[in-house]
A = this chain, B = another copy of it.
Amino acid sequence: MSNWIEALKKEIPEGQIMTELADRYSYSFDASFGEYLPDVVVQAKNKQEVVYIVKVANQFGIPIYPRGQGTCLSGGPLPVYGGMVLDLSQWPEQITLNVEDLTINVSPSVLTARINEEAEKHGLMYAPDPSSAHVATIGGNLAENSGGPRGLKYGVTKDFVIGLELVTPEGEVIRTGGQTIKNVTGFDLTKLIVGSEGTLGVITEATLKLIPKPPAVQTIMVEFDHVRTAGQAISRTLTSGILPSKMEFMDQACIQAVENFKPSGLPVDAKAIVIIELDGHPQTLDVETKLVQNIMSSIGATNLIIPKTKEEADKIWHARKQVSPAIAKIKPTKVSEDATVPRSKIPEMMDRLHDIKNKYNVEVVVFGHAGDGNLHPNILCDKRDQEEMGRVEQAVEEVFQAAIDLGGTLSGEHGIGTMKAPFMEKELGEVGLDMMKRIKDSWDPNGIMNPGKIFPEKGQKLVLTDE
Contact = CB atoms under 8 A, between A and B. Distances in A.
Interface of A: 98-103, 122-124, 144-145, 147, 151, 155-156, 158-159, 168, 172-176, 178-189, 191-192, 194-196, 200, 211-213, 215, 235, 238-243, 280-281, 283-284, 287-288, 340-345, 369, 372-374, 407-416, 420, 424, 427-429, 431-433, 435-436, 438-443, 454
Given A158-B188, A342-B103, A438-B442, A180 B412 contact: yes
B413 A187 contact: no
Given A196-B187, A428-B186, A373 B181 contact: yes
Contacts of A235: 100
Contacts of A178: 407-409, 427
Given A243-B211, A435-B168, A179 B415 contact: no
Find the residue from A100, A174, A187, A438 having the highest chain B CB count within 10 A: A187
Nearest to A283: B283
B238 A212 contact: yes
A195 B183 CA distance: 10
A427 to B, nearest CB: 6
B212 A182 contact: no
A96 to B, nearest CB: 13
9 contacts: A102-B238, A174-B432, A181-B340, A181-B372, A188-B194, A189-B435, A191-B191, A212-B240, A280-B280
B241 A213 contact: yes
Copy count, this protein chain: 2
Contact of A182 (B123, B374, B416): B374
B243 A212 contact: yes
A195 B185 CA distance: 9
A416 B407 CA distance: 35
A416 B184 contact: yes
Nearest to A243: B212
A144 B187 CA distance: 10
Contacts of A192: 187-188, 191-192, 439
A98 B344 contact: yes
Nearest to A287: B281
Nearest to A431: B172
A305 B124 CA distance: 28
Given A101-B343, A186-B424, A408-B179, A439 B436 contact: no
Given A102-B238, A180-B408, A185-B409, 15 more contacts: A122-B239, A123-B241, A145-B188, A159-B159, A176-B432, A179-B407, A181-B373, A182-B374, A184-B414, A185-B427, A186-B416, A187-B195, A187-B439, A187-B454, A191-B191
B184 A413 contact: yes
B174 A431 contact: yes
